Amino acid sequence: MGALVHFIYAILDGLLGLLVLAIIVSAILSWLVAFDVINLRNRVVYNIARFLDAVTQPVLRPVQRIIPSLGGVDISPIIVLLVIQAFRSYLLPQILLLG
């Protein structure tokens, strides 16, 4: 039973880590597009942006509905990152105590 709990912990922690990375890369990519450093007409950039939007929008959209953008600045990625980090630091280790 203990090995299964450690396996579930490792999978959840890894997935949350990948989600954090996807949110950060998506935010940086959106800034680069907004400041015309890169262009979405490039097929590779477009496909990467589309993939990142598909991964991050289901997590960001509920926060965006509650908290509107402030002066055109979307702070939902910051809030989601704080919630994910709190979950990884405080709630996820509680799974190990179950095993």
94 CB burial (10 A radius; 0-12, 13-18, 19+): exposed
What would the pLDDT profile of 32-46 be if each residue is shown by its tens digit? 999 999 999 999 999
Domain extent, residue 56, equals 2-98
* d(C-alpha 25, C-alpha 49), whole Å: 9
What would the pLDDT profile of 47-81 be if each residue is shown by its tens digit? 999 999 999 999 999 999 999 888 888 899 999 99
pLDDT band at 95 (very low <50, low <70, confident <90, very high): confident
HSE-up of residue 20 (Cα within 13 Å, Cβ side): 14
Q: For 70, phi and psi rounded to 5 degrees?
A: -100, 105
HSE-up of residue 63 (Cα within 13 Å, Cβ side): 17
Q: What is the pTM of this model?
A: 0.91
Count of structural domains, the chain: 1
